[in-house]
Amino acid sequence: MSIQIAPSILAADFANLQKEVEMLNSSEADYIHVDIMDGLFVPNISFGLPVTEAIHRHATKPLDVHLMIMDPDRYLEAFRKVGAETISVHLEACTHLHRTIQAIHHLGAKSGVALNPHSPVDLLSEIIQDVDIVCMMSVNPGYGGQKFIENTYQKISRLKDLIISKGAKTKIEIDGGVNLGNAPKLKEAGADILVAGSFVFNSANPLDTIKELKSI
Ligand code: DX5
Ligand code: ZN
């Protein structure tokens, strides 16, 4: 199966959001990745519900919402209401992750668990069968444009082994520092979805860049 691409709107020109979303609509992207940062779980603040709603109003691609917020249970329903198709929460931000995953499914959304670079994939061994997507962070969350962490390849292989051993159907999404240099190796290691922010939006032709990522 060809790899799926989720451009991160965090790297878009927020003053021209509609134009940027329309560009993504006409691209080969599979999702629009929406990064929500609360200034607490991560040092940065990005944007919240009204901006996500505005993105959804113009988007024809499903929204893949990545919540980098503490106690995300408080906002699951609200993000579902403004159009989240997939909701990813951080393992490190949830006390009762199983309950949170159930709540996401109850809202009719696909569930994602995001893992910080320091978190071992084994922490997912008892829950992997219930999770639709693991969003593996290949940078420390909080900012776009950071350098890819090389240990990610080994982590993908370990996660792939865990998914197979449990007979799960979980997809592996890689988030942070993705570019055309590392994308083929990420795919080879077992990635299903690649998030790319600055590499797409800072390129001369984002449509071509998405196409190139898609065809690795
Ligand atoms: C990082 C975010 C990423 C980020 C990716 O905290 O979760 O989705 O926007 O951006 P790049 O591709 O620039 O690393
Ligand atoms: Zn993200």
d(CA 39, CA 129): 31
Residue 112 assigned as binding residue? no
Q: What is the pLDDT of residue 11?
A: 98
Which helix (H) or strand (E) is 167 found in, with range? none
Ligand with the closest atom to the CA of 182: 1
Q: Which atom in ligand 1 lies closest to the alpha carbon of residue 146?
A: 14
205-211 average pLDDT score = 98
Could you tell me the residue range of the domain that residue 63 belongs to?
4-214
Residue 61's φ and ψ, nearest 5 degrees, are -100, 150
Amino acid at 107: L
Helix (H, G, I), strand (E, B) or coil at 128: helix
Ligand 1 interacting residues, C-beta cut-off 6 A: 8, 10-11, 33, 35, 66, 139, 141-146, 175-178, 195-199
Q: What's the total number of domains in the chain?
A: 1
pLDDT confidence of residue 137: 99
176 labeled part of a ligand binding site = yes
Q: Which among 30, 38, 132, 175 is annotated as catalytic? A: 175
* CATH code: domain of residue 77: 3.20.20.70
Helix (H, G, I), strand (E, B) or coil at 161: helix
ipTM of the complex: 0.98
Binding site annotation covers 144? Answer: yes
Can you tell me the distance from the alpha carbon of 123 to that of 66, in angstroms, rounded to the nearest whole number? 19
pLDDT for position 116:
98
Compute and round to an integer the Cα radius of gyration of the chain. 16
